[in-house]
Structure formats: C-alpha cells, structure tokens
Chain A
Amino acid sequence: MAIRIDPGSGLEDRFFGALLRLFPADFRERFAVEMRTLFRDQQRDARDAGRLAYVRFFWDTGRGLVATAFREHREILFQDADYALRLMRKDMSFTIVVILILGMAIGASTAAFMAANAILIQPLPFSGGNHLIHLQQRRPAIGVENMAFSVKEIEDYRSQNRTLDSVVEFHEMTFSLLGGREPMRVDTGVVSANFFRILGVTPLYGRTLMDEDDRPNARPVLILSYNFWQKSFGGDPNVVGQKYSMNDMEHIVVGILPPIPQFPSEVDVYMPTVACPTRSGDHALHERSWHMMNVYATLKPGVSLAEAQADLNQIAKRLQAAYPDEYPSAKGYEIGLQPVHEELSHDIRPVLIVLAAAVGLLLLLACANVTGIMVSRMLARTRELTVRTILGASRSRILRGMVTEGVMLAIIGGMVGLILAYWSVGLLVSFTSKFTSLASQLTFTPQVMAFCFLLSVACGVVIGMVPSVGVRYTALFTAEGSNAGASNVISLKTRGALVAAQLALCVILLVAAGLALRTVLHLERVDPGFQPSGVLTARIYILNGKHQEFFKELLERTRRLPGVVSAGLASSIPLHDGASDGPVPIEIRQAKATEHSETKPGTPVIRIVTPDYFRTLGASILGGRDFNEQDTSEVQPVVVVNQHMANHYWPGGNAVGKQIAVSSEKWLPIVGVVSDIRHLGLDQDPIDEVYGSLAESPQAAMSVVIRSSQTSPELGEQLRWIAHDIDPNAVVADVRPMMQVRKDWLASRRTTAMFLGIFAVVALCITASGISGMMALAVGERKHEIGVRLALGATPGTVILSMMKQVLVLMTAGLGVGFGAAWLMSTSMSHVIAGIAPRDTVTFAISSALLIAVTTASSFVPLTRIGQLDPVVLLRAE
C-alpha cells in the first residue's frame, strides 16, 4: 500500500514541495515520502539550534535538492542518449532516412530564417539608421506618391520644422571619372555634408564629408563606396589622397566607406551637393519646381512619427498657401513619412513571407512524416517497451527516452541542415540582392546557429512525443494479454492521420509552387510590345556637350556595320531599372481633345527616342508615322504617343493630328501612335507615354538598340570601338542582348518559383514515402487477416481494392483540408503572382491530379505484395 504524507501548508513545506518537483518522476515516486519526513526531522533540529542555523539549514537543503535533481536528470539524459545511439546504430537505414528528411526541412527553415533575420528583423547596420525616415511629397489627387524635393523646398522644411533633428538630401547622378587607367562612368550619390553622420557610418579609410566640404567654392572631394574601391582600385588604401577629374574639375578622394549596404541606392562614389553641377545650377537653386532630391531626416528625441507628420503637414499647408501656383489644391499636396528600414525591405517582404511560410509547411510535413516513421518503429519495439514496463519503467520514463531519441535525431538532422544553410548563403544573397540592398547583410551568424539548434530541439520533442502517446496503449494491451492487433490498429490510425496531414500540407505547397510557376510561364508569354530577339542594347554616356553630333555619327556608323538591319536610341529601354534618368513625370494639358478631359488624373511619362527606334525594337506604328530626320526643334517639334494614351484621351477617336502641351504653352502635334511597350515590367499594365525626338531634346545619356540579322558577339565590341573613336571619353556600359534584359527581369520571379518548386517536389517525395511506408506496414500487420480472406475465396484484387478504399479516405481528408487551406491562403500570394487569379483553377486542378496520381501510385506499389502472398503459408505461420 502506498504511503502518503501530508504535504503541509506552511511556507517551509511549500518551499520543499516546490524543489521536490525538480526531481524526475521516478525519483519522486521512490523517495518523496521519506525525503519529506527527513526534511521535517532536520527542520525541527535546526529550529532548536537557533535562528542562524535555521536559515543555514534552508540554504543547504535548497542547494542540495537543486544539485541532486540536476545530477539525476543529467544521469537519465546520458542513459537515454546512450540507449538512443545504440538503437540508431542498430537501424542505420531508419536513422539515415530520418536525418536526411529532417536535415532538408531544418536546413531550409534555417536558411529562410537567415534571410528574414538579416533583412526584416535585424536593425539597419548604421548606428543612426533605425531612426531614419524618408520624406515624400505627395499629390494624392493625381496619384503622385513620391515626388522629389527642390532645393527651395528642402530649405523650407529644414528651417520651419520643430520635430526633425537633421534633414539631409540625396540624389543620384552619373558622371565620368577621368585620370585612372581608363575613363569610368560612375554612379554618384550627391549628398549633404551630414549624410554619413546621421547614418552613423565610420569610414574604413580616410574620412567622410565635413561641413566645410559642402560650402560654396570648397575643394571638390569624393568618398568611394567599398565595392567600387575593391572593383576599380583593387582595395588599395593609397587611393585616398589621389586626384581625379570629374565634370572638368579636380576631385580628391578623401575616404572609403566600409562594406555596408548602401542607402538609398548602390552608387560608386559620393560627393557633396556643392560639387554637383546640376544641383549648383541657377535652375536647381532658385526654381521651386526643380524636383530632383530625395530627402531623409531623423526625429528629435521623444518625437513620434505621428507628431512629425502633423508638424510637416503644417509646413505643407503654409507652402500651399504661399505658393498656390506651385501647389494647386486640385492636385492635393501632403507630406508622407516612411521609416527607411521598411522602405528598404518593402519589395522583398512579401516574397520572404511566402518562402518562409513554404519552408514552415515543409518542416511540418517533414515532422509529420518522421513522426509516422517513429510510430512504425515504436510498433516494432512493442515487445521491448512491454518488458521495460513490466520491469517497472514508468510511462513518463519511457516517454522521456523516446523524446531524447527524437531530439538526438533532430539535432543530427539539424547539423546536416546547418551545413545546407551555410552552403545556401551565396544563393540567398544573389536572390535577395535583386530586391534589396540589405542583401549584403545576409551572413551566417551565431543567431542562425542558435535558431537551428532550438528548431531541432523543438522538432525532436514533437517527433519523440507524438508517437509515445501510443505507448500506454501498446504496453497495456500487450501486457494484459490482449491481442497485439488492437495496438497496431491504434498505431495505424495514428499513421493514417499523419499521412492525411502530409497530404494536406503537400497540397498547399503544390498550389503555391504551381501559382508561382504559372506566373513565370504567363510572364514569359506576355507580349512586351517589342521583339527582343536579335536586338543588342547598350548604355552610352558622353561628356563633351556635343550630344547631337555624337549620337548622329554613332547611329550612322553603327547602321553601316555588317549584318545590322537598323539602329536607334532611347532615353530608356524597357525592363531595365538602371536607365530611368530619361523619363520625367509631368502634367499634361490637352487641346482638341474631348471636352471634359481637362482634369483627368495621371501623368504621362516622357521618353526621348530617335527615328527608327520603334522599328529596331520591333514595336508597331499603329497610326500616323514614326519620327523622321526632319523632326527638329527648328522646324516643328512633334510627339508620338502610345496606344494606351491614345485610347485614354481620345477613346474611339484618332489621336494623330491632335495636340498636347507639356509643361508649357507650346503645342505639340501628335504625328503617330505606337503600340504599347511594357517599359515598367511584364507584370505592369501599359501607362500613358509620350515620345519626343532626340533632335528636339538633346540628352547626355542614351540607350542604343541595334537589330542585326545575325547574333554576333563582336557587335558589342564594334559599338564600343565606334563610340571611343568618335569620343575617347565616351562610356559604353551594360552591353546586353535584349533577350538577356528580359531574362534578367524575370530572374527574381524564376528563382522564387524555383524555390517553391523544389519545396513542393521534396514535399511530394516525402509524402509519397510516408504513404508507401504506411501501406507496407498495413500489409505486414494484416497478413493474418489477408490470409484468411484469401483462404475464404477473396481474390488479391478485391483485397487490394478494400485497402485502397482506406487510402481513398485519407486522400479525401488530406486533399479536402489542404485545398481549403490553399484556397484561403492563396490570396496572400498576390505579391508573388501576376497574370493569373490567386485561385487559379488550372493550378488547383493540376495540383490535385498530381497528388492523386502520386498517392495512388505510392500506395499501390506495396499492395502488389498481396498478390504474391500464399494463404496456406500465412495461416501456417500464425
């Protein structure tokens, strides 16, 4: 008869009881009563010995209990680990399969965490970066969300605000850097003197900008970015102090930045605002409408974003009142504030969330699969577990041993996963860099290792604990002499539920991968509005001011090259992020248009092109004509509009012959309508576009497009030679076939689809193995029943059919739950898909067909063994 002892209600008893709970359950069962009795005896002695002895008694008792409890747990852990290792060595095929499945899932999860941690969770790598906000001028009535600032506006906001600590500006220019081995075209960040100070950036060599550098007539200085320094100067620190020529002025390199993500965009060098010829020009300094600067600021200590917003809105209202022509109320005018961290991670956030969700599902699926394997294994260990139970092992002790085994398997799997995650760093950086400059922060850190370890332990607890829920039944049934079949049925039911869960998770992954894949297929089929095949493109920058002559000669000589069909120039080419300096959002006023269209919202984008550009690119002239050599500003400036704009402003009518006014009172006739070219992206609908002629709007940087009858790798070199022959300081950059431009644009979506596809294939393989394993187990466990049925005249076919019905039940349950979840979740993928509905019927249909086929095949293969069974042999064996 078990002896119980009153646990007592005093503080001392509660203290002892609480510490006693630290011991393993087995230990408590054996000694708790005695220990409490001894505690009370010793407590009485200590009380008699005086107050100090009493206090010391509690200290010694507490310390002794904690230390002994720790030792007991440690000893059990070592025993269980030793036992688990022996079991793992004994069944190496099981061990390897489990480790590989868990390794893949934990590795993928760790890699996803590594990316999410570096880009979404970790603070910006600038000491002041997390307080940095981006100021945006908005004109809500006409849909302008982020209008740049003019110098005048920056001065107003800097002087009138009460909530901002520092207001700094940034704009990007491209200049030629001379004085090195060869002329270099460098992307230049033009910044305020305190730009680096508010970011908290310490230079790697030299210094950053000082206030003196940004004063009129200061000696021009340059700061080099780390990547540019490595790429162009081989990481030579002696470049600090060297002089180079830029914009016909001598510039001295005063510092080199450390390898940090550049903000707000990747540039090669930085210069102060006074050194930029455009920024220092009269127009920029005095015209309020000269919007070209991005503005950033830090909040004063204790100021919230909402307070700053209210403060800046007051300034906006004052400006609106003071300059009604500049800020017409019809267009609306307000200030937006966006934390820079959010801005930098804005594009990749939805992609990372989708990928993280996918690896999370894969991990769940892997755990469900391994748990199924563990359940089968537990069944195989029924005899051993029963013997242990009879010998006195408690259920909690057996459960603990199984959890230890699960954790050990998961930790070894986690080590494999850690290696996979380590290998994936390069791939992840290359993938995420297409979305954010924070990609360079993605590294293998102790945090990643800690995450991997904790995830492994969590997985281990799950895969060890869930199967051991069945231990009670298994041990009980067998120990009490009941037939083992009952326990097997329970085990099979557990495995069935786990297989259904795998099917459900697999469906979700298949649908996600299907949606991403269909998006890529759709985008590859989208008509971009031009024919990229056979077209070569390059970006050309010139400095000498003779733009017209240069580009005219360049085109003439290029057209004479062998194999060249046609050539043209454009301020920007489609699908290319880096060449957007040509188009400027403007307002449009119409004449001879529909009477009520005067206040239509939206601004067309201006692009500058040459005659033959449209033909070279493969765009069609739908009405009127292309530009020709006679369209010069001396004769009559003309424009061509795209089909979208023609339909927008002249629906059902003919735009040719109409006139538009662009930021002036000068009316420009429309001479042609060109087909829509998807400049902004294959997933973006066409927008209103106005094309002007290069002859009327000289440009210093243009993209050349060349259509040739044969693809020749020498064409790029020939173009470079011609450009340098005309102007030795001309820069020819970014020489790529147009097909490559299109391919590069699709790269990030392809990679997203590839990741999701890999996850789905892995999920499908794991699920198939889970189903196959479960059916093999079912055949093995039901041999006797099958033997009886075959002996009573059933054919193998009818037996197989009856077992397939069980698979059908599981499949229906899994598919039903999975499709329901996929149906609900698919809308959250809207940022990753384009051109198809989130609940795309084709994707759902193909996913279900694929899963049904794989499920049927993987369950049918083990069932074919039934045909080979001999009922006589089976029944004799029983």
Chain B
Amino acid sequence: MKGGRLGKKRTIESYLPLTPALFHVLLALADGEKHGYVISKEIARRTNNEVKLSTGTLYGIIKRLLDDAMIEESAQRPDFSLDDQRRRYYRLTKLGKAVAEAEAERMERVLALARSKHVLGPQSA
C-alpha cells in the first residue's frame, strides 16, 4: 500500500484517466482470471500486436493494480495436472471492474465529443 494514500478513501474518478497499458490489463482480466503470460498474449492478440507488454512493464502494472486493490490473486487454480506452481492467477476486484467501466465510459464520452465535433465519422452499425 502506498504510504501517501494510507487511510484515504479514494473515489473511482481519482484513478482516471488510466494509462492505455493499464486499461488493457484490466480489460484482459474482465472475462476471467488469468496469469501473466495469458494476459500479455491476449493484449497482443486483441490489439493486433500494437500493444505488447514486456515482462517489466506488465509486472509494474500488476503490482500497481494489486496495491490499489483493483485486482487480486485468485485462490482458484487449474487442475493439478495442468497447473504450473510458478504462475499466479489474477482477477478483477469490484473496484477494478468499476474503474474499468468508468474509464470505458470516459472514453465513450470523449468519442461522442469527437463525433459531435466531426473529428470522427458517425458510429457504424
């Protein structure tokens, strides 16, 4: 826990805006718990390799999300025969989900603004 935040209750908005990499990690965990390798693979796949998180960058984000209680380590593990004890699985907390939603809504509002200003074309069906 960060010393500076000790004892302070933070609002959802105080976490925003998120960095793209951090938002991608939250999104990757939105549909279930995953370990580091799967998170990095999914982000690369979903972004057509535009966002590739290196080991250091990914675990810097994971540490921050854990410290801020947006994700937590999952106690559930795969079947023993499939499990790798070296890996840890992470999942979104309620806070993490709320922050991801708030960030998505924020981005949506930005997009709407861009459309109203004709910076972007109308939303395709």
The residues of A with any CB-CB pair to B shorter than 8 Å are 3, 5, 16, 19, 27, 30-31, 33-39, 41-42, 60-61, 63-69, 71-72, 75, 78-80, 82-83
Q: Are A42 and B55 in contact, CB atoms less than 8 angstroms apart?
A: yes
Chain B residue contacts of A38, Cβ below 8 A: 36-37, 40, 55, 58-59
Q: Is B4 an interface residue (CB 8 A)?
A: yes
Binds A, one of B24-32, B85-93, B107-115: B85-93
B42 to chain A, nearest CB (A): 13
B104 to chain A, nearest CB (A): 25
Q: Are A68 and B86 in contact, CB atoms less than 8 angstroms apart?
A: no
CA distance A628 to B68 in the complex (A): 103
Chain A residue contacts of B4, Cβ below 8 A: 78-79, 82
CA distance A66 to B85 in the complex (A): 27
Of chain B, the residue at the smallest CB distance from A31 is B59
Chain B residue contacts of A80, Cβ below 8 A: 3
Q: Are A33 and B86 in contact, CB atoms less than 8 angstroms apart?
A: yes
Of chain A, the residue at the smallest CB distance from B39 is A38
Q: Is B77 an interface residue (CB 8 A)?
A: no
Chain B residue contacts of A35, Cβ below 8 A: 36, 55-56, 59
Q: Are A34 and B87 in contact, CB atoms less than 8 angstroms apart?
A: yes
Q: Are B56 and A61 in contact, CB atoms less than 8 angstroms apart?
A: yes
Of chain B, the residue at the smallest CB distance from A86 is B3
Known interface pairs A37-B37, A67-B57, A75-B2; 7 further A-B residue pairs with C-beta atoms within 8 A, sorted by A's residue number: A3-B85, A35-B56, A37-B84, A38-B55, A38-B58, A64-B54, A79-B2
A45 to chain B, nearest CB (A): 8
Q: Is B99 an interface residue (CB 8 A)?
A: no
Q: Are B3 and A82 in contact, CB atoms less than 8 angstroms apart?
A: yes
Q: Is B62 an interface residue (CB 8 A)?
A: yes
Which B residues between 46 and 69 are near A, CB-CB below 8 angstroms? 52-60, 62-63
Of chain B, the residue at the smallest CB distance from A30 is B63
In the complex, 10 of the A-B residue pairs with CB atoms within 8 angstroms, ordered by the A residue number, are A3-B86, A19-B56, A31-B59, A35-B55, A38-B55, A42-B55, A64-B54, A65-B54, A68-B59, A82-B3
Of chain B, the residue at the smallest CB distance from A33 is B86
Given A34-B86, A37-B86, A79-B3, A60–B54 Cβ distance below 8 Å? yes
CA distance A30 to B37 in the complex (A): 16
Contact of A83 among B3, B52, B58 (CB under 8 A): B3
Q: Are B62 and A31 in contact, CB atoms less than 8 angstroms apart?
A: yes
Chain A residue contacts of B62, Cβ below 8 A: 31
Chain B residue contacts of A64, Cβ below 8 A: 53-57
Chain B residue contacts of A30, Cβ below 8 A: 63
Chain A residue contacts of B56, Cβ below 8 A: 19, 35, 61, 64-69
Q: Are A61 and B86 in contact, CB atoms less than 8 angstroms apart?
A: no
B52 to chain A, nearest CB (A): 7
B91 to chain A, nearest CB (A): 15
Q: Are A65 and B86 in contact, CB atoms less than 8 angstroms apart?
A: no
Closest 9 interchain pairs by CB?
A64-B54, A65-B56, A64-B56, A68-B60, A68-B56, A79-B3, A64-B57, A41-B37, A38-B36
B49 to chain A, nearest CB (A): 10
Q: Are B86 and A60 in contact, CB atoms less than 8 angstroms apart?
A: no
> In the complex, how many residue pairs between chain A and chain B have their CB atoms under 8 Å apart?
73
Given A31-B63, A42-B40, A68–B57 Cβ distance below 8 Å? yes
Of chain B, the residue at the smallest CB distance from A27 is B63
B86 to chain A, nearest CB (A): 5
Taking residues whose C-beta sits less than 8 angstroms from the other chain, chain B's interface range is 20 to 34
Chain B residue contacts of A72, Cβ below 8 A: 60, 63
CA distance A65 to B58 in the complex (A): 10
Of chain B, the residue at the smallest CB distance from A57 is B54
Q: Are B54 and A61 in contact, CB atoms less than 8 angstroms apart?
A: yes
CA distance A80 to B4 in the complex (A): 9
Chain B residue contacts of A71, Cβ below 8 A: 60
Chain B residue contacts of A75, Cβ below 8 A: 2
Q: Are A65 and B55 in contact, CB atoms less than 8 angstroms apart?
A: yes
Chain A residue contacts of B54, Cβ below 8 A: 42, 60-61, 63-65
A84 to chain B, nearest CB (A): 10
A83 to chain B, nearest CB (A): 5
Chain B residue contacts of A37, Cβ below 8 A: 36-37, 84, 86-87
Q: Are B63 and A39 in contact, CB atoms less than 8 angstroms apart?
A: no
- From A60, A64, A80, name the one whose CB has the most chain B CB atoms within 10 angstroms: A64
Of chain A, the residue at the smallest CB distance from B35 is A34
Of chain B, the residue at the smallest CB distance from A22 is B56
Of chain B, the residue at the smallest CB distance from A19 is B56
Of chain A, the residue at the smallest CB distance from B53 is A64
Of chain A, the residue at the smallest CB distance from B86 is A37
CA distance A19 to B52 in the complex (A): 19
CA distance A66 to B57 in the complex (A): 9
CA distance A3 to B85 in the complex (A): 7
B9 to chain A, nearest CB (A): 19
- From B35, B53, B54, name the one whose CB has the most chain A CB atoms within 10 angstroms: B54
A223 to chain B, nearest CB (A): 65
Chain B residue contacts of A36, Cβ below 8 A: 86
CA distance A67 to B53 in the complex (A): 13
B7 to chain A, nearest CB (A): 12
Of chain B, the residue at the smallest CB distance from A82 is B4
Of chain B, the residue at the smallest CB distance from A71 is B60
A674 to chain B, nearest CB (A): 82
CA distance A82 to B87 in the complex (A): 34
CA distance A75 to B86 in the complex (A): 27
A212 to chain B, nearest CB (A): 72
Chain B residue contacts of A34, Cβ below 8 A: 35-36, 59, 86-88
CA distance A428 to B36 in the complex (A): 63
Chain B residue contacts of A63, Cβ below 8 A: 54
A387 to chain B, nearest CB (A): 12
CA distance A597 to B49 in the complex (A): 103
Of chain B, the residue at the smallest CB distance from A78 is B4
A610 to chain B, nearest CB (A): 85
B79 to chain A, nearest CB (A): 18
CA distance A66 to B60 in the complex (A): 11
CA distance A140 to B84 in the complex (A): 88
A523 to chain B, nearest CB (A): 60
A471 to chain B, nearest CB (A): 18
CA distance A16 to B59 in the complex (A): 14
CA distance A201 to B86 in the complex (A): 71
- From A3, A31, A63, A67, name the one whose CB has the most chain B CB atoms within 10 angstroms: A31
Chain A residue contacts of B85, Cβ below 8 A: 3
B69 to chain A, nearest CB (A): 15
Chain A residue contacts of B40, Cβ below 8 A: 38, 42
Chain A residue contacts of B63, Cβ below 8 A: 27, 30-31, 72
Chain B residue contacts of A3, Cβ below 8 A: 85-86
CA distance A65 to B55 in the complex (A): 7
Which B residues between 76 and 107 are near A, CB-CB below 8 angstroms? 84-88
CA distance A291 to B37 in the complex (A): 89
A739 to chain B, nearest CB (A): 66
Chain B residue contacts of A66, Cβ below 8 A: 56
Of chain A, the residue at the smallest CB distance from B88 is A34
Of chain A, the residue at the smallest CB distance from B66 is A30
A8 to chain B, nearest CB (A): 13
Of chain B, the residue at the smallest CB distance from A16 is B55
- From B3, B37, B55, B88, name the one whose CB has the most chain A CB atoms within 10 angstroms: B55
Chain A residue contacts of B60, Cβ below 8 A: 68, 71-72
A437 to chain B, nearest CB (A): 55
